[in-house]
Amino acid sequence: MLNKKKKKKEPYDRIRPILEYLTFADSYTKRIREILKNNNLWITNDNVSYGPHTLLKLAYLKYYFDIALEIAKNYFKNYVFIDTFAGSGLVSIKDTEYVSLGSSLLALIFKSRSGTSFSKIIGMEIDENKFSLLYRRLNLIKEELNLATDIKLIKGDINKKIDDIANEINQGDYGILFVDPEGIEISLGDLSKILSRSKSIDVILNQSEGVYRLLGKAQNGDSVSLKRLEQYLPTLSNVQDPEKARDILFNQFGKPIEATAEIRDVNNSPKYELVLRVRSTKSGAPWVKGMVEFANNITTKYNGKIVLNILDQIHGKGGRIDDFFKPS
């Protein structure tokens, strides 16, 4: 008799297709690249670039899109992606010629395994140039792919325009709120304005390592660091113990703690943590198990260096490397 039990794929075999998709090496995203190139909206040299570890963040996001939309389709009619630090739609990978989908463009073109897509993308970006690129890229792709997705992009500072975002969300919407600053340029407490619009908003927060550095400095009496911490999350400023600070941060915006993923760069140094906070349901949140598994077996096992090696392989620059890069 045939053994029907599916063999679990190796981490390498799971991350590789995601990286192919993100870096325009699979058939669907190759088409997106051609459309952008043909309309002079491909990336140029003056775009800011981020290290290869950025792809681990985007892979985590994409993985959650699939889990979340597959469940949401049974309970909700509208699925909203809220990108508070939206960027330009594309991400240039530092010191390489590789380009990735940025979070908002990824959300726009994403289809879950049963074909579910976001009904609305709400994005905010402060930088004039990036905002203009984001606007043109997303609207071009929407038109060319004939997508029904509603796109609402707002130019400005998230800390001043949070109400504009909140007003775009309706009570019965299912939402994923992605908070992806470069450092700690947000007042976390204000996110409650967005979260109060619907009971069904999950949060993925990019929590900079810088928070812990500030905490250390503040504890040594540095008043500037203390002030910045207070702006980030007021309750943190009285906390002496870093572990306790981590609990406070995570309990407010990061439940359940198990799906947290540490992102490490090409030197294997921690850069930030991705914190997932999901809505509460009667059954708990069983779907988070899939995320915990992905975070533990993929996101935290890899780092920027390994990602770079896989990218080289995908884009024809290296041999098969999974044997010697098998995560321990």
Q: Please give the residue ranges that form the binding site for ligand SAM (CB under 6 A).
A: 83, 85-87, 91, 102-103, 124-127, 130, 157-159, 180-182, 185
Q: Provide, rounded to whole angstroms, the least separation between the CB of residue 87 and ligand SAM.
A: 3
Q: How far is the CB of 86 from ligand SAM (least distance, A)?
A: 6
- Give the three-class secondary structure for 82: strand
In the complex, minimum distance from the CB of residue 241 to ligand SAM, in angstroms, rounded to a whole number: 29
Instruction: Report the candidate in 172, 155, 182 with the shortest Cα–Cα distance to residue 48.
Output: 182
Question: Closer to ligand SAM at the Cβ: 56 or 239?
Answer: 56
Q: Indicate the residue among 181 and 327 with the shorter CB distance to ligand SAM.
A: 181
Q: Which is nearer to ligand SAM, 181 or 270 (CB)?
A: 181
Shortest distance, CB of residue 204 to ligand SAM, whole angstroms? Answer: 10
Which residue is at the shortest CB distance from ligand SAM?
Answer: 102
Token output for 181: 């600053």
> Scanning the structure block, which residue is given the tokens 């609305």?
120
Closest separation between CB of residue 186 and ligand SAM, Å?
7
CA-to-CA separations, 265 to 47, 49, 93, 226, 272, in angstroms, rounded? 20, 14, 12, 27, 9
Q: Please, are residues 274 and 263 in contact by the beta-carbon 8 Å criterion?
A: yes
Q: Three-class SS of residue 2?
A: coil
Q: Of the two residues 103 and 112, which places its CB atom closer to ligand SAM in the complex?
A: 103
Burial class from Cβ neighbours inside 10 Å (0-12, 13-18, 19+) for residue 32 reads buried
Q: Closer to ligand SAM by CB, 12 or 168: give it.
A: 168
Our CB check for ligand SAM shows the closer of 153 and 169 to be 153
Find the helix or strand (DSSP H, E) in which 251 lies: helix 242-253
Provide the Cα torsion 246, 248, 250, 254; round to 10°.
Answer: -160
CB of 233 to ligand SAM, least distance (A): 16
Q: Tell the smallest beta-carbon distance from residue 84 to ligand SAM (Å).
A: 7
From 147, 84, 87, 92, select the one nearest 120 (Cα to Cα): 147
Distance CA 327, CA 324 (A): 9
How far apart CA 206 and CA 96 sit, in angstroms, is 23
Nearer to ligand SAM, 12 or 21 (CB): 21
Residue with structure tokens 């990061």? 254
SS3 118: coil
